[in-house]
Amino acid sequence: MKILIVYYSLYGHTLKLARAAEQGASQIENAEVIFRRVREFPETEVDMPNHPHADKVWQQQKDTPECTLDDLKAADGIIFASPTRFGNMIAQMKRLFDSCASLWMEGALEGKPAGVLTSTASTHGGQETTLVSMMIPILHLGMVVVGCPYSIDGMIHTEARGATPYGPTTLAGPDNSREPHEQDIEIAKQYGKRFATITAKMTQ
C-alpha cells in the first residue's frame, strides 16, 4: 500500500505537519509512505537567498524529489499539504492540480482516498477555506476525502492553534517564526495513521 504525501512549504510549518502525518501513516502495517514536494517557481527559487528563514528551509528540502503525475497515479492514497495564500491553496500546489488533466481523462485517481493539511499566519487566516480549495479539484478528480474527526485527541479546544474537521492545521505567526503547537503535530500524526488505516481498507 502506497501513501503519497505531496507538500509545499516556504517557512517549514506545512513541512512539519506533513512529516508528522508521515510518521503516523508509517505506523500502519504494509504502509509505504512516499514523500514528495511540489515544484517551486523558478523566480521564487532564485529569490530565496534574500529571505534567510525561507532559504534555510529551502536548503533542508531542495533534494526532496518533486511530485510527478506518475507519483499520483501510483499512489493508493494521497495527502496534499499547502500553506494558505489569501484563503486559498498556494499557486505552486494549484499548478500541480491543473496539470492533472490526463489523469482526470483516464479516471486514474477515482476512488482513491485524499487528505489535506495547511498552515496560516493567524487563527482566522483562511485555514478552512484553504483546505476546501484543495478539496474542490480532489472531488473533480473523483477522489474520496478523508476528514479529521473530533474523536481525534485535541481537536476540541479554544486555544490559539490549529485543528479542523477538514484536516490538520497549524499557525505560523505574522512573521512566520512561530513553531507548530505540539498538539497540532500530534493531531497530524493521528490523522496520518487514520488516513493510512482507511486507505488500507479501501485497497483490500
Positive or negative: CA dihedral 16, 21, 23, 26: negative
What are the boundaries of each domain within the chain? 2-202
Helices (H) and strands (E) in the chain, counts: 8, 8
Helix runs in 5-100, H state only? 13-26, 42-47, 52-61, 69-74, 91-98
- Is the overall model pTM greater than 0.85, yes or no? yes
Those residues whose C-beta lies under 8 Å from the C-beta of residue 70, and which sit 6 or more positions away, are none
Those residues whose C-beta lies under 8 Å from the C-beta of residue 40, and which sit 6 or more positions away, are 8, 58, 92
Rounded to the nearest 10 degrees, the angle between the axes of helix 127-140 and helix 91-98 is 10
Query: Do β-strands 2-7 and 88-89 pair in parallel, antiparallel, or remain unpaired?
Result: unpaired
Alpha-carbon gap, residue 37 to 79, rounded angstroms: 12
Alpha-carbon gap, residue 27 to 196, rounded angstroms: 9
- pLDDT < 70 stretches in the chain: none
Buried b (16+ CB within 10 A) or exposed e, 41-52: eeeeeeebeeee
Q: What is the dihedral of CA 12, 74, 136, 156, to 10 degrees?
A: -50
Which CATH fold topology does 2-202 show?
Rossmann fold (3.40.50)
pLDDT for the residue numbered 55 = 87
Give the Å distances, CA to CA, from 199 to 8, 141, 144: 22, 17, 10
